[in-house]
Amino acid sequence: MMENIALVIALVLLLASLCQWLAWRVRLPAILFLLIAGLVAGPVSGVLDPDALLGDFLMPTVSLSVAVILFEGALTLDFREIRGFGGVVRRLITVGALTTWLVVAVATKLIFGFSWEVSALLGAIVIVTGPTVIAPMLRTVRPNRKIANILRWEGIAIDPIGALLAVMTFEFILASASEDAFGAAIGLFLQALLAGSVLGIVAGMILGIILSRNLMPEYLHNLAALSLVLVTFTVSNAITHESGLLAVTAMGMWLANRDDVDIHPILNFKEHLSLLLISVLFILLAARIDTQQLLSVGWQALLLLGVLQFVARPAKVLVSTLGSDVNWRERALLAWIAPRGIVAAAISAIFAERLLAEGNSDAVLLVPLTFTMIVGTVLLQSATARPLAKLLGVAEPSPRGFLIVGANPFSRALAEALNEHDFRCVLADTNWDDLRQARMAGLETYYGNPASEHAEAHLDLSGIGGLLALSRQRHLNYTSAVHFRNEFGKQRIHAVTAPADEKSSGGRKQAGSYVGNRLFGEDIRYADLVSAVLRGSKVTSTTITEEFDWEAFQRKYEGQRTPLFVITRSGLVKPFTSEDSPEPGRGDEVIALEQEASPDVTAEGGED
């Protein structure tokens, strides 16, 4: 028996990996494939029975997983990053969330005849969207940056808000069985709010002290963070029922907004853990769905989906954008995009289980209805959002900018030169010192691996249409190139020879097969470029004219300037590569590295 359980768990992990890979290949939210896999493995084939597999450990596992997922999401809630559109985001997650809650609760009551308590609980559950669903959709839709940023931040911030509203509703349902239900519910809510907030902030302070003062060796930081999150969640729930989700959210938000705490190492760890938990969790929850119950609510569920899509979401966007600079076209697209995700699925499973234990028969349909909302919103919006964005004229034009992997001195100089010509560049790196220098120069940055799940949710690629792999770390160049090949196309993936490539046999040929076109010529290496900038070389721009043509440029600057890019009169940018050397014409501009001779300066090197 034990061998069979181990085999089933291993197969679930393999299935989760295949679903994530397939989602990456076709650029759709992974939730769709995870749901299908769960349904096939569970009710369709009968191979996977989560309740038999994990027994009494299933729901505690779901609860702890949701705690980790919400904590990881809260770690990204640095509110300084929403300046300029923070008002719209705040209204979306407050008055807008209440609008959705009210509309869905009333619709559920009228359509299904549930009690007001269960109707309100479903309304709270479907408030949440989630960055893991929004991000892949935004990659395909490519709306303008204002819309993309609003949707991305709403998806990050709404998860804990929705969870808190669900907790409030659940506490009211439990209290409604006793006398003075309203007073008891208010008391329980205030107790949960106080316990969760205080305990979460205290836990955040403790973890912050551990991290900032190095009270533990660095290799123990992730273990300490994970254990403290789980302890905070369970202790808070022991003090006040269902306050644990608020506690871990407050803990993550406290850490995210502290300048004296470097949360990036634990954030990277939590990102990988959250990906694992989301993948496995969704398969397990989908495998528990009763297909008969799902079919029994057929047309009614579709009617509720219509209310959610065509009434609740537009009403939310309308009340949240009044008085803002969001125009009606942008409002229309905001009103269309709001796919539901894993947090809604997990919360519905948790509260449905507990309500059924309390004898509330209406709760039996909570999970099937929530999954219907998830699948319906993802399928409908994935298929229609891009054409709608084009029709409304709020889609980004053909992307011209670059994601630059590596924030070394040459990358920074190149990004500054391209920015001056209105080409958006984002520098991504795992080296914090290099990235800090880029930020000080006013460049856009991303800390971490751009091919990671965290980047999938939080890296804004609006206006980005190509990759320049300029890191000294070979694995970072390779993983980024492979990850974005489907995104940008093979012809828009470029790289230079990294130090590790130079030391490996046949390194350049091998590297080229992975990362696409070799930038600036076969003989141009990472060390050459960085050393030149450290010696004082500058990235220059020269306009080609009828009098000063391309041949004149080459004669004058032979051995003095290394051509890097050509910016054509039509606004296209073409790199010089080992495979292609464009010939600039009149009105084009040549971006080049001007050589400066200054001895005794070498580039940073090292093999990853």
Among residues 392, 425, 449, the one where a domain terminates is 392
CA 64 vs CA 58, 196, 370: distances in Å: 10, 15, 20
The answer to whether the CB of 565 falls within 8 A of the CB of 559 is no
Is it the case that residue 509 has pLDDT exceeding 60? no
Mean pLDDT (whole number) for 577-593: 79
Cβ–Cβ < 8 Å for 485, 516: yes
DSSP string, 207-243: HHHHHHTT-S-GGGHHHHHHHHHHHHHHHHHHHSTT-
Mean pLDDT of 3-25: 83
Residue 605 lies inside a defined structural domain of this protein? no
Average pLDDT over residues 347-375: 81
Is residue 520 domain-shared with residue 384, that is, in the same domain? no
Share of the chain above pLDDT 70, in %: 86
* pLDDT tens-digit readout, 160-184: 677 777 777 776 776 665 556 566 6
Both ends of the chain: CA-CA distance in Å?
Answer: 44
CATH number at residue 184: 1.20.1530.20
Distance of CA 289 to the CA centre of its chain: 27
27 in any annotated domain: yes
Which burial class, exposed, middle or buried, applies to 501 when counting CB atoms under 10 A from its CB (0-12, 13-18, 19+)?
A: buried
- Give phi and psi for 583, each to the nearest 5: -105, 110
Q: Is the model's pLDDT at 512 over the cut of 50?
A: no
Per DSSP, the chain holds a count of helices (H) and strands (E) of 27, 10
DSSP string for 329-377: HHHHHHHH-----HHHHHHHHHHHHHHHHTT-GGGGGHHHHHHHHHHHH
Cβ-contact 507, 497 below 8 angstroms = yes
Neighbouring CB atoms inside 10 A of 583's CB total: 11
Q: What is the pLDDT of residues 517-538, one digit of tens each?
A: 777 766 777 777 888 888 888 8
Predicted local confidence at residue 311, as pLDDT: 94
Q: Which amino acid is located at 452 in the chain?
A: S
Q: Whose CA is closest to 499, among 468, 531, 545, 465?
A: 531
Same domain (yes/no): 143, 163: yes
Q: Do 274 and 412 lie in a common domain? A: no
Q: Are residues 310 and 443 in the same domain?
A: no
At which of 363, 392, 421 does a domain end? 392
pLDDT at 303: 92
Q: Is 549 contained in some domain? A: yes
Annotate 580-603 with DSSP letters as a single string: ------TT-EEEEEE----SS---
- Is 80 exceeded by the pLDDT of residue 601? no
User: How many residues comprise the chain?
Assistant: 608
Instruction: Quick: pLDDT tens for 422-434.
Output: 888 888 888 888 8
Q: Is the residue at 600 inside a domain?
A: no
386 and 452 belong to one structural domain: no
pLDDT band at residue 78 under the 50/70/90 scheme: low
Question: DSSP state, 395?
Answer: B
Q: Is residue 602 part of a domain?
A: no
**351 in the same domain as 410:** no
Residues 322 and 452 placed together within one structural domain of the fold: no
Total of domains in the chain:
2
Backbone angles phi, psi at 569, to 5 degrees: -60, -30
Indicate whether 353 and 496 sit together in one domain. no
Q: Quote the distance between the C-alpha of residue 98 and its chain's center.
A: 24
Each residue of 309-351: pLDDT tens digit?
Answer: 999 999 999 999 888 888 898 899 999 998 887 778 878 887 8
Label residue 50 exposed, middle or buried (CB < 10 Å: 0-12, 13-18, 19+). Answer: buried
Select from 593, 492, 490, 488 the least CA-distant residue to 538. 593
Q: pTM surpassing 0.75?
A: no
Look at residue 1 and tell me whether its pLDDT is greater than 70. Answer: no
pLDDT level of residue 8 (50, 70, 90 thresholds):
confident
Sole residue written with tokens 């971490």: 448
* Residue that is last in its domain, among 392, 426, 452: 392
**268-285 tens-digit pLDDT:** 676 677 778 878 888 888
pLDDT at 124: 87
Distance CA 569, CA 438 (A): 29
Return the closest-CA partner of residue 413 out of 427, 403, 401, 400. 427
Strands 493-495 and 517-518: parallel
CATH number for the domain spanning 436: value is: 3.40.50.720
Whether 280 and 13 have beta carbons less than 8 Å apart is answered as: yes
Q: What is the DSSP letter of 522?
A: T
- 489 Cα distance to chain centroid: 21
Alpha carbon 520 to chain centroid, angstroms: 33
Give me the pLDDT at residue 99, please.
92
pLDDT over 80 at 394, yes or no: yes
Residues 319-328: b if buried by 16+ CB within 10 A, e if exposed = ebbeeeebee
300 with 330, same domain: the answer is yes
Say what the pLDDT of residue 511 is.
45
Q: Quick one: which of 37, 45, 3 has its CA closest to 21?
A: 37
Q: Has residue 432 been placed in a domain?
A: yes
264 with 369, same domain?
yes
In a shared domain, residues 98 and 119? yes
Q: Is the pLDDT of residue 223 over 80?
A: yes
Work out the average pLDDT over 31-48: 84
Is 70 exceeded by the pLDDT of residue 81?
Answer: no
pLDDT digits (tens, 9 = 90+) for 547-578: 788 888 877 877 778 888 888 877 777 888 77
Assign 457 a pLDDT band (cuts: 50, 70, 90): low
Confidence of residue 605 (pLDDT cuts 50, 70, 90): very low
Q: Which pLDDT belongs to residue 231?
A: 92
User: What does the alpha-carbon distance between residue 185 and residue 63 come to, in Å, rounded to a whole number?
Assistant: 22
What is the average pLDDT value for the chain, to the nearest integer? 79
* Segment 125-156, tens digit of pLDDT: 888 886 667 777 777 777 877 888 788 778 77
Q: Does residue 505 lie in a domain region?
A: yes
Cβ-defined contacts of 149-152 (< 8 Å, 24+): 149/82, 149/85, 149/460, 150/85, 150/88, 150/89, 150/92, 150/326, 150/334, 151/334, 151/337, 152/457, 152/458, 152/460
Range of the domain at 527: 401-594
Taking 70 as the threshold, does the pLDDT of residue 393 lie above it? Answer: yes
Distance CA 524, CA 516 (A): 15
259 and 355 fall within a common domain: yes
Reported confidence tier of residue 501, pLDDT bands at 50, 70, 90: low
Residue labelled with tokens 């659940």: 170
Tell me which residue of 283, 252, 201 sits closest to 17, measured CA to CA. Answer: 283
- What is the rounded CA–CA span in Å between residue 461 and residue 448? 15
Q: What pLDDT is recorded for position 324?
A: 83
Q: Which two tokens stand for residue 37?
A: 């896999």
| Domain annotation covers residue 501 | yes
Distance of CA 394 to the CA centre of its chain: 22
